[in-house]
Chains A and B, each alone.
Chain A
Amino acid sequence: MAGGLIAGCGGGNGNNGGDNGGGNGNNGGSSASAPAPSTAASGSASAGGKKDVTLTYIASQGWIKDAEMQLAKKFEEETGIHIDYQIIPADQYFNVLKTKLNAGEGPDLFGGQSGKSEISLNYNVEKNAVDLSDQEWTKREDPLTLDQLSLNGKVYAQTIWDTSSSFVVVYNKKIFADQGLTVPKTYAEFKDLCLKLLQAGITPLYEPIADGWHHTLWFAEPGPQYDKLQPNLYDDLNANQTTFADSAPLKTALTQLKEMYDLGFFGDNALSDTGAESADKLASGRYAMSLANQSLVTDIEKVNPDLKATDFGFFVIPIADNQIYYINPGGPSKFVYSGGKHIEEAKQYLAYLAKPENLQYMLDNDPTVSNLNFSGLKDKYTDEQKKLHEMYPEKGTDIQDYVNYVNPQWMDIGKDIVAMFGGAMSVDDVLKSIDKRRADMAKVAKDPAWNG
């Protein structure tokens, strides 16, 4: 999940955009590749009570699942309100969205990431989105998620997402058994097993750097571990009492990531690899692991029916010796544009989606999610996932969901890290660059912690 908040969230891990980053969703599931045909609301409104309205809804590739589109069809049958989905490729979505919002021409509904600094800085929700605090479903939505969507006590969006599913390192159990490897508990153990894999001629990790957002996860997800190693790190960063550049655990993390790249753990083609091929690559046996959404294993099964989801196991990112299960309480969310002409109808659609039976429908019919962030639903955790939750009882929020002004610069951090891999920037340069952008954003947002 954590990844979710990322801008761009492009190409997921070739799975059905089950991750927050949305993904390329190739199979079944999400990837609404073609937008529903736009009904020129011709023809008069049909029988009593039904309106003849079309709501435009723009979202990034991978955010809208097939199950939701089915529900939208039912919604249209019941109310006559048609939803026109406009899906935009992940790496261009935020440019398109911001351009539309800044031009004052937003659609009726738009998708966006959750996160306080994200919604205020990137979408300017207090101006561009409708206050939804009075809606009934806000009482049933996970309060942690709701908090991520709120500013000054008002709720600005709805999130229906599997917030329990974080990005984990998915590993091929057979390869591990053949090579005599065990799940690592420290970075040193992880480095060792990767070196052994290299010697055996297997590429340790499939890392889609070309997507632009994925590789930053290695650095950001183990946030709670950094906060543990340097007590109060998160709060100090938010209060501008310390910086990224001054933090030893953050420096260690980036240094380890650079080492992983330099030693060749990502293979030769990592800079051009995309998430759409993750399932294929892991199924081929040439790669042993990949940092991915937990639903990747179902994709691998589809690619190679000889493999079972249970042939793969999970463990958390061991950077900086992390053993905490990092979570992201947010995800892709739906906002109602304040300048739209059909605000009531849009609210009606959101309320419809949040009805308990419809939420359960989405949960049951979406192979990429195991649970949704609303109370009163029945989950679908697999055995491997139950094991995962047992292995890592300690939970924490990842860095981009707690520390301000990190998520909005996610893609820029990604670019900096690529520059670091190539040798154009040092670890310190990257950290300083992050600090500088944070300061820029804080000043623009007139954050008191930076103006003192």
Chain B
Amino acid sequence: MLRNKTYPYYFTWPTLLLYAVFFVVPGLIGFYYALTDWNSYSDEIRFIGLDNFRTLFSSGENYMGYIFNTLKFTVATVVLKTVFGLLFALALNEGIRLKGFHRVMIFMPSIIPMLVVGLIFKSVLNPATGLLNESLRAVGLDFLAQKWLVDAHWAFKSIIGVDTWKGVGYIMIILLAGLQSISRTYYEAAEIDGAGAWHKLRAVTLPLLAPALVVTTVLNLLYGLKVFEAVYVLTNGGPGYATDVLYTAIFKEFSLGRYGVGTALSSLLFLVMTVAGYFVVRLMAREEAEA
């Protein structure tokens, strides 16, 4: 890394100040509000200690279900996006015609707003008139047609599917960049030693791709924990409460005016994200060091 200090260090202070004022301080103030009964119906705020958190973890409420759904979504999308992202990256790395075109096509969904994607898929997945089921019926595969977004069994899987479809391109691009930074000489050396494709993947590609994989895993993890639009637009948490996640719950609390509870939930989410992010980075950094 170049130690060429073009600018003195105090040039960063204004930025840090802005960041602190608009991100750090509100976050900290949020922790305080999580311990109060702040709501939209009364002008006074009382300190109530951990009552909000007690509500969150009590059995009468659905919050544990929301947390569980959020974790399920996160794990599923991390795995799916990484696996498919890697497959696409490997396939489109070299040796295919029109690979520029293919890369663009796979990446395009990432730039469309989730709201738009959600609305389109809501129509595509309509059990009676949607494109997917109609196509299945047209080719005689009726038994595969499901009530994608309204059957409790399929709703969450559909949301995961739509989100993966949208996000895999982005991950592919990052992994492609990682792949292209791997020097040819390693592969040549492996071939000389008689390694097959699978062995090359395991021994050369994956270890050297580790930094990129750390990046994508952390990105996916944080995205998964924060998911909101996909769920809100596709099912709004339905059917019933089957697909509600932490963020849709936070949104509901804020629109009900229960700011104290909403802030408590977001503080909880913040803690989970920090802990998860820290451990993932440490874990993968360790693997990287060992490789």
Q: How far is the CA of A418 from the CA of B126 in the complex (A)?
A: 17
Give chain B interface residues in 41-90, CB to chain A under 8 Å.
41-42, 60
Verify if A131 is at the interface (C-beta below 8 Å from B): no
Q: How far is the CA of A420 from the CA of B41 in the complex (A)?
A: 31
Residues on A with beta carbons closer than 8 Å to the beta carbon of B257:
98, 102
CB-based contact A419/B239 at 8 Å: yes
Verify if B157 is at the interface (C-beta below 8 Å from A): no
Q: How far is the CA of A450 from the CA of B236 in the complex (A)?
A: 32
CB-based contact B39/A272 at 8 Å: no
- Which of A91, A94, A102, A418 contacts B239, CB < 8 Å? A418
**What band does the interface of chain A fall in when counting residues whose beta carbon is under 8 Å from B?**
20 to 34
Using A102-B40, A269-B128 as known contacts, say yes or no to A415 and B237 having CB atoms under 8 A apart. Answer: yes
Q: How far is the CA of A419 from the CA of B239 in the complex (A)?
A: 6
- Which of A91, A420, A422 contacts B152, CB < 8 Å? A422
CB-based contact A269/B127 at 8 Å: yes
A12 → B minimal CB distance (Å) = 18
Closest to B128 in A: A269
Q: How far is the CA of A445 from the CA of B40 in the complex (A)?
A: 11
- Which of A268, A272, A415, A444 contacts B41, CB < 8 Å? A444
CB-based contact B41/A422 at 8 Å: no
CB-based contact A424/B241 at 8 Å: yes
Verify if B103 is at the interface (C-beta below 8 Å from A): no
Give chain B interface residues in 97-144, CB to chain A under 8 Å.
126-128
A196 → B minimal CB distance (Å) = 24
- Which of A91, A95, A422, A436 contacts B242, CB < 8 Å? A422
Q: Mark A109-136, 1 if CB is under 8 A from B, else 0.
A: 0000000000001001000000000000
Verify if B147 is at the interface (C-beta below 8 Å from A): yes
Residues on A with beta carbons closer than 8 Å to the beta carbon of B60:
436
CB-based contact B150/A444 at 8 Å: no
CB-based contact B41/A212 at 8 Å: no
Verify if B211 is at the interface (C-beta below 8 Å from A): no
Q: Mark A192-216, 1 if CB is under 8 A from B, else 0.
A: 0000000000000000001010000
Q: How far is the CA of A436 from the CA of B152 in the complex (A)?
A: 24
Verify if A84 is at the interface (C-beta below 8 Å from B): no
Using A415-B237, A415-B241, A418-B240 as known contacts, say yes or no to A444 and B42 having CB atoms under 8 A apart. Answer: yes
Q: How far is the CA of A420 from the CA of B238 in the complex (A)?
A: 12
CB-based contact B239/A271 at 8 Å: yes
Q: How far is the CA of A188 from the CA of B242 in the complex (A)?
A: 33
Residues on B with beta carbons closer than 8 Å to the beta carbon of A444:
39, 41-42
CB-based contact B147/A445 at 8 Å: no
CB-based contact B41/A419 at 8 Å: no
Of the candidates A95, A212, A425, A436, the one having the most CB atoms from chain B within 10 angstroms of its own CB is A95
Of the candidates B39, B239, B251, the one having the most CB atoms from chain A within 10 angstroms of its own CB is B239
Total CB contacts across the A-B interface at under 8 A: 60
Verify if B149 is at the interface (C-beta below 8 Å from A): yes
Residues on B with beta carbons closer than 8 Å to the beta carbon of A162:
none
Of the candidates A98, A212, A268, A422, the one having the most CB atoms from chain B within 10 angstroms of its own CB is A422
- Which of B151, B237, B239, B255 contacts A99, CB < 8 Å? B255
Closest to B43 in A: A127
CB-based contact A271/B240 at 8 Å: no
Residues on B with beta carbons closer than 8 Å to the beta carbon of A269:
127-128, 147
Q: How far is the CA of A210 from the CA of B257 in the complex (A)?
A: 25
A441 → B minimal CB distance (Å) = 9
Residues on B with beta carbons closer than 8 Å to the beta carbon of A210:
150
Residues on A with beta carbons closer than 8 Å to the beta carbon of B149:
272
- Which of B41, B127, B240 contacts A445, CB < 8 Å? B41
CB-based contact B255/A272 at 8 Å: no
Residues on A with beta carbons closer than 8 Å to the beta carbon of B42:
444, 446
Verify if A108 is at the interface (C-beta below 8 Å from B): no
Using A94-B255, A272-B126 as known contacts, say yes or no to A212 and B236 having CB atoms under 8 A apart. Answer: yes
Verify if A227 is at the interface (C-beta below 8 Å from B): no
CB-based contact B41/A124 at 8 Å: yes
Give chain A interface residues in 400-433, CB to chain B under 8 Å.
415-416, 418-422, 424-425
A10 → B minimal CB distance (Å) = 11
CB-based contact B40/A124 at 8 Å: yes
Q: Mark B224-258, 1 if CB is under 8 A from A, else 0.
A: 00000000000011111110000000010011010
Residues on A with beta carbons closer than 8 Å to the beta carbon of B127:
269, 272
Give chain A interface residues in 257-287, CB to chain B under 8 Å.
268-269, 271-272
Q: How far is the CA of A421 from the CA of B251 in the complex (A)?
A: 25
CB-based contact A415/B150 at 8 Å: no
Residues on A with beta carbons closer than 8 Å to the beta carbon of B254:
99
- Which of A91, A102, A271, A436 contacts B150, CB < 8 Å? A271
CB-based contact B128/A272 at 8 Å: yes
CB-based contact A415/B240 at 8 Å: yes
B114 → A minimal CB distance (Å) = 15
Residues on A with beta carbons closer than 8 Å to the beta carbon of B128:
268-269, 272
- Which of B236, B237, B255 contacts A98, CB < 8 Å? B255
CB-based contact B255/A95 at 8 Å: yes
B149 → A minimal CB distance (Å) = 7
Of the candidates A99, A416, A424, A446, the one having the most CB atoms from chain B within 10 angstroms of its own CB is A424
Of the candidates B41, B126, B236, the one having the most CB atoms from chain A within 10 angstroms of its own CB is B41
CB-based contact B40/A419 at 8 Å: no
CB-based contact A98/B150 at 8 Å: no
8 A-B contacts, Cβ less than 8 Å apart?
Answer: A98-B257, A102-B257, A272-B149, A272-B150, A419-B239, A419-B240, A424-B241, A424-B242
| Beyond known contacts A95-B255, A424-B241, A444-B41: 15 more, CB 8 A cutoff | A91-B236, A99-B255, A124-B40, A269-B127, A269-B128, A272-B147, A272-B150, A416-B240, A418-B238, A419-B242, A422-B152, A422-B240, A424-B242, A444-B42, A446-B42
In the A-B complex, the 10 residue pairs with the smallest Cβ-Cβ separation, listed nearest first, are: A419-B240, A271-B150, A269-B128, A95-B255, A418-B240, A444-B41, A424-B240, A418-B239, A422-B152, A102-B40
